[in-house]
Amino acid sequence: MVNASLISRLSQAVDQIENRLKQNPPWKVVEVRRGWKEDPDAAVDRHFAAHPEDRGANVVLFKFCDDEELAEESQDFDRPAEPSCEEPKARERC
């Protein structure tokens, strides 16, 4: 049988957990594609312009690639986004 004391203690425990999560939110890690000779700040600015939801990241990791890959990526952003009607395919197991 549940009594008021147990409900009160559970409520206090939930409040403590919520307060800890507010004080220490999980870190946000972002991977930014960057050319070998590209300025790091320019790469980060370019990434945030394309992905504003990544602003405020705690950690930025650079993925280095050649200039051809970056050119292909910038061309992809210039095209209008087309809605995808297909559901993603499930990964095949090895």
- Report the C-alpha gap between 16 and 22 in whole angstroms: 10
- Report the C-alpha gap between 47 and 45 in whole angstroms: 5
Longest dimension (CA), the chain: 68
Q: Which residues of the chain have pLDDT under 70?
A: 1, 73-94
69-91, pLDDT tens digit by residue? 777 766 555 444 444 444 444 44
- Report the C-alpha gap between 3 and 10 in whole angstroms: 11
* Its pTM surpasses 0.85: no
What's the pLDDT at 24?
75
- Which spans in the chain are helix H? 4-23, 40-50, 67-78
